[in-house]
Structure 1
Amino acid sequence: NKCARVPKTEWTVGPGNIVEAIRARRCYCNMRRSPAKARLAICRVKAKAFRLLVWSLSVLVLAKKIFSAHRGILNGSREITVSHRAAQQITELPIHCGSQADNTCVEPVTVVVMSAGKRIKELAHIVEYYVLKQDRRLVYEVHIVWNSAADIPLDAEILKSSATRVHKETHNSLNNRYRHWKSIHTRYTLLLDDDCLVADVLTAVRIQMLSPERAMIFFARSHKSTRDGLSYVNPKRLNGSYSMGTGQATLLSTKWLKEFNTDFRLQRIRAFIDKNRPTCEDIALHMYITNSSGLPPLLISAGQRELRWTRGTGMSDDRNWGAQRKQCLNEFIALDYAGKIPLKYSEFLRPVNVSEMTVGLPVLHNNHHFSHTVNVTFGAPSKYLVEQSISQIHVTFACDSSAPGQLRLLSAALRSILSHAADPHRLSFHVFVGKGEENHVSDALRCALVDWQHFDLTITAPPEEMVDLPIKIRYPGKSERRLRSSFNYVRFFLHLLLPQVNKVLYLDTDVIVLDDIANLYDAHLVPDQSSVLAACARNQLMSKWINFTDPDVINARIDPTIQTFNAGVLLIRLDKWRAQHLTDKIRFWMTRNHERPIYEHGSQPPLLLSVGDAFERIDSSWNVDGAGFREIKHKLLENAKIVHWTGGKKGNEHDAWHHNVWKEFDKRECFSSELRRLKMRE
């Protein structure tokens, strides 16, 4: 039996396999052919030397763990599992911690640094610190937003690193630091100026995970109400109270970057920052987060420091910097918050530190989530929907987005309104969809309406129990399912869905608007008129729709010869609707029709019975209907301001009448998923 030898390539050293390594390398020299004692002594010396080598390596491994614990990777006696990916799997996304009750898992973070090329030394130091000195499992990537036409004068090896991404901008805007949310694959993002460094990223992320809806700030600022509006002040002037942070460093959930860039309600603020280039994009972000979450920011201490090696290059060095910040505060509130201050003072008066964080920070476990009275998909809470002025044009749609083609019809209608609007700033759209369809609809409309910026759009899922009307359809045919849809009856509950709106224009989704909608909105239902609604009168009489032999109809003394109207284009005074309890009257007629036949169709006859002849007449060009079952005369079509595809065939069908009019406002590429769904049904 010769000495047992294992190749060096198969040796494995670690705390759990030390004994096995020693046994595998031990020589049994006394079993060799030559029984020389010298050989036995030499073999024993070799075995002792190998044991010493193995134990030395074990000590080094243990020392490395102790050193890591000293740097904060350990929490007491518990090891923190840093969520990460293997180095060889660079193309994969980071693994998220999931929902853990304790702090044993830390999410990775993406660092976004914006620079215009004036502080190269500071930028190089920041990038090198996070790329070379931070654990890749903690700092996942570093994104450099380069607001300069010149090349980036940084080390080529760092720029080529898989942990570095560079975004070269063609337009120098402070909004650019927020625009690259699509390329961020972590739940949290650390936003930095090129003169600031946050050294203790681990502590900052752990606090952020305890309160993910808040923004974590490192340099606090506040607002103060004065006679001239709001002032931008240092918290020292308010006994430490703060309500926002500077743009130097902010840690926040990446979802806020997405919503800040995609919320239609912030288009005017983003355009203001791009156009005027004031140093206040951070104020706009903090306003939005506080307004949406209902939570103020949190000032934390995580080894942050300013790098002011190049003097006189910062925006805060400008003498007018404070005045610009004050102007931004008041401008933003006037633009999109209707004079209402969205900021809140934090409940803390000093930075939150590590010792407070390790004992649980019970005050941070705030389960308060802003409750929407209506479900707003684009991030703006319902308190944001305030009546700004009488000049605001409120337009509503009810869209059954689960029905074939309805979403494309809605998109074309919105595009036609925006295409002809002289002042899109006045437009405020309210779209009501089914529960669970909000995200699908918002993604499609965001694509379809990308050509316009300055308008408001709210997508809402009304409570299913709200439309509690007894629906009875006695009209046989293909239209029965469409007439039975609860979305036809949403128009009867607008006074509840829009409690702060007094005047609204309701449109069916199967319309195309060919004139400025403001001409219709401003000319009718002025405050001194008594009518509750305005509509285009038809040549059809009431007797065509209603059974006048019914006792309740006879008792109501309704004239069978009065004109009717189409309810697909309705201008409504919601304050008078509420005062007259019109929804209760509609419910009465629907209940009677459920018991015995009073009418055949769906939502229009009960409205006709409730309103009668008390509606204001609108010029017929604002509702040229019937395009869904007949060809409209050329002269009528030429003068039409709204074309309405009432009938079986809608404008999106290729064989429909006047499909070319509807096709002009279609954006087919935004509805590829819907088209695939329709093909599967066919």
Structure 2
Amino acid sequence: MPGRSVRCPSLAAVMAAWFIVSAESGFPRSVAAFSSSSKRFKEAPQFYNSPDCPPAPHDDPSALCSPSAVHVAMTLDSPYLRGSMAAILSILQHSSCPQNVAFHFVTSPSNASEVRSTVAASFPYLWFETIPFEPSHVSGLISASIRPALDSPLNYARSYLPSLLPSCLSKVVYLDSDLVLVDDIADLASTRLPPPLVLAAPEYCNANLTSYFTPAFWSNPELSSVFDGRKPCYFNTGVMVIDLDRWRVGMYTEQIKRWMEVQKRVRIYELGSLPPFLLVFGGRIAGVDHRWNQHGLGGDNYRGLCRDLHPGPVSLLHWSGKGKPWARLDRGRPCPLDALWSPYDLWRPTFDLE
């Protein structure tokens, strides 16, 4: 696209990826069915650490909490699994130390086996765990939003990460499934979180925060006063660095749940799981350079029209919004920027006999 360029890392970033789906893990090696036997994913290439990386910690029994690892949490669900697979590949391909990236995949109990076998088949040496998230945790708290996809219980699992992830784990990078990285995940994971901050994410203070809440919220001083003494800015919850220890101590899951309970009584927002995060953390997060979340590439939540990149360098492209690149590519009506997602697509078409 004229005047716009994607910032890519050095050649060292191409030497990447890694593993720990061993015989002991019990993860099957065969290509797994994804909803039907004809829907399968290709096997990704294997990547390796560059010479200056610390030793890969996968031989350590406590490796899931190794301080030399970069820990990435994602929610994996069947409708978005194609996007998740592309995101995983992009992380590994652009990491200088891919063997030190540990993945924590949160999924619904009914899909856990399918997700585990599908990921293991395409990434035989990936270091990962699958964590079931019971929909009952949030089923009574979810209010209908402007887009049905936002009402999935897994969309709310990020609010429960500190209790879902191993208690020995103190820091994690949370990523949505509709994105790809073109830079080293370790750079994002190294984001500093000065005490007492819990979250780090790119902030967008030019966005109109008023529009994320209803008139019923702003007209009620008891509710809107939550922002008193704060300068809240919009941030996208699809890319976050989280201090899990501080979250646990502060019991922030309970604070988010309380706002969801308010929403059930008085409709104070229209947009899924994002507004409770804004209410709890707005004005209280560490800022991250915007290059780490070039969001909104999926268009708005109603029509999903094509969008251009924001000005500036790019380390992460995020197709938040209604339009997803794999769906537009399959329909033969892609947006120009969808061409930046397609090289990471592991989907094997039904006519591919390879």
Q: Provide the rounded CA distance (Å) in 2 between the counterparts of 1:606 and 1:650.
A: 24
Partner of 2:287: 617
The aligned residue for residue 570 of structure 1 is 240
Q: Aligned letter for 1:529? A: P
Larger Rg: 1
| Correspondence 1:259 to 2:26 | yes
| Secondary structure class of the residue paired with 1:571 | strand
Separation in structure 1 between the aligned mates of residue 220 and residue 176 of structure 2, nearest angstrom: 30
1:524 to 188, 192, 195: 192
Matches within 5 A, 1:523-602: 523-525=191-193, 528-538=194-204, 539-546=206-213, 547-558=217-228, 562-602=232-272
Instruction: Provide the residue aligned with 1:39 in structure 2.
Output: none
Whole-angstrom CA distance in 2 between matches of 1:400 and 1:261: 19
2:232–2:278: 8 Å Cα contact kept in structure 1?
no
Distance 1:399 1:604, change over 3 A: same
Counterpart CA distance in 2 for 1:493 and 1:518 is 23
2: CA distance between counterparts of 1:626 and 1:482? 16
Tell me, yes or no, if structure 1 residue 336 matches structure 2 residue 86. Answer: no
Q: Aligned partners of 1:523 and 1:601: how far apart in 2?
A: 28
The CA deviation at 1:545 is 1.0
Q: What is the Cα deviation at residue 399 of structure 1? A: 1.9
Deviation at 1:474, TM superposition (A): 4.4
Match of 2:182 in 1: 514
- TM-score of the superposed pair, with normalisation by structure 1: 0.40
Q: Match for residue 143 of structure 1?
A: none
Matched with 2:156 is 489
Deviation of the 1:468 alpha carbon = 5.3
Query: 8 Å contact 1:433–1:462 — kept in the other structure?
Result: yes
Q: Deviations over 1:254-292 (max 9, x none)?
A: x968938859xxxxxxxxxxxxxxxxxxxxxxxxxxxxx
Aligned to 1:175: none
After superposition, the Cα gap between the structure-2 partners of 1:600 and 1:560, relative to the gap in structure 1 and judged at 3 Å, is farther
Report how far residue 429 of structure 1 moved. 0.3
Change (3 A) 1:411 1:474: closer
Tell me the distance in 1 between the aligned counterparts of 2:262 and 2:113.
38
Among candidates 302, 305, 308, match of residue 632 of structure 1: 308
Provide the rounded CA distance (Å) in 1 between the counterparts of 2:264 and 2:57.
Answer: 49
Q: 1:503 aligns with which of 156, 159, 171?
A: 171
* Residue 347 (structure 2) pairs with residue 668 (structure 1): yes
**d(CA) in 2 for partners of 1:628 and 1:649?**
4
Q: Aligned pairs, how many?
A: 292
| TM-score calculated relative to the size of structure 2 | 0.75
Contact 1:543 1:561 in 2 (8 A): no
- Alpha-carbon separation, structure 2, partners of 1:523 and 1:608: 20
Tell me if the contact between 1:628 and 1:649 (Cα under 8 Å) persists in the aligned partners: yes
Cα distance in 1 for residues equivalent to 2:246 and 2:182: 29
1:387 and 2:52 aligned: no
Return the alpha-carbon distance in structure 2 between the equivalents of residues 337 and 447 of structure 1. Answer: 21
Distance (Å, rounded) in 1 between the aligned partners of 2:255 and 2:57: 40
Distance 1:633 1:409, change over 3 A: closer
| In structure 2, C-alpha distance between the alignment counterparts of 1:615 and 1:423, rounded to whole Å | 27
Partner letter of residue 487 of structure 1? L
**Deviation, structure 1 residue 436:** 2.8
Q: How far off is 1:647 after superposition?
A: 1.2
Hey, what's the Cα distance between the residues in 2 that align with 1:456 and 1:395?
Answer: 11
Q: How does 1:248-327 map to 2 (within 5 A)?
A: 259=26, 262=29
Residue 209 of structure 2 aligns to which amino acid in structure 1? M
Alpha-carbon distance between aligned partners in 2 of 1:569 and 1:518, rounded to the nearest angstrom: 14
Hey, what's the Cα distance between the residues in 2 that align with 1:600 and 1:534?
24
Correspondence 1:448 to 2:122: yes
**Counterpart Cα distance in 2 of 1:447 and 1:262:** 5
Relative distance call for 1:611 and 1:633 in structure 2 (3 A) is closer
Aligned to 1:178: none
Deviation of residue 469 (structure 1)? 5.4
Structure 2 match to 1:222: none
1:612 CA drift (Å): 2.3
Give the letter for the 2:133 counterpart.
P
SS in 1 for 2:180: strand
Matched residue of 2:109: which SS?
Answer: coil
Q: Is the Cα contact below 8 Å between 1:650 and 1:656 reproduced in 2?
A: no
Query: Which secondary structure state, in structure 2, belongs to the residue aligned with residue 460 of structure 1?
Result: strand
- Quick check: 439-448 or 415-424, which moved more? 439-448
Is residue 2:155 matched to residue 1:464? no
Q: Matches of 2:156 and 2:119 in 1, distance apart?
A: 23
3-state DSSP class of the match of 2:77? coil
Change (3 A) 1:388 1:262: farther
Inter-CA distance 490–544: structure 2 relative to 1 (3 Å threshold): same
Question: d(CA) in 2 for partners of 1:468 and 1:551?
Answer: 29
Separation (CA, whole Å) in 1 of partners of 2:230 and 2:144: 22
Please give the secondary structure, in 1, of the residue aligned with 2:190: helix
| TM-superposed deviation, 1:516 | 0.4
Counterpart amino acid of 1:399? L
- In 2, Cα distance between the equivalents of 1:603 and 1:507? 14
* Residue aligned with 1:437, SS: helix
For residues 417-474 of structure 1, what are the alpha-carbon distances to aligned partners after superposition, in whole Å with 9 as ceiling and x for unaligned? Answer: 0000100121000111222322322232233325xx4x41112222333335511124
Does the 8 Å CA contact 2:76/2:115 hold for their aligned counterparts? no
Q: Deviations over 1:594-617 (max 9, x none)?
A: 101211111000110011201000
The offset of 1:659, in angstroms, is 1.4
Note the 1:639-658 alignment, pairs <5 A: 639-652=313-326, 653-654=328-329, 655-657=333-335, 658=337
Judged with a 3 Å threshold, the aligned counterparts in structure 2 of structure 1 residues 456 and 533 are, in CA distance, closer, same or farther, namely same
Contact kept? 2:27, 2:117, Cα under 8 Å: no
Unaligned 5+ segments in structure 2 are 1-21, 31-55, 300-305
C-alpha distance in structure 1 between counterparts of 2:293 and 2:142, whole Å: 26
Question: 1:515 & 1:642 partners in 2: Cα distance?
Answer: 7
Over the aligned positions, Cα root-mean-square deviation in angstroms equals 2.9
Q: Which amino acid aligns with 2:135?
A: E
Amino acid at match of 2:81: L
- Preserved CA contact (<8 Å) 2:29 2:121: no
Shift of 1:640: 1.1
1:409 aligns with 2:80: no
8 Å CA contact 1:541, 1:561 repeated in 2: no
Aligned to 2:128, the other structure's residue is in SS state: strand
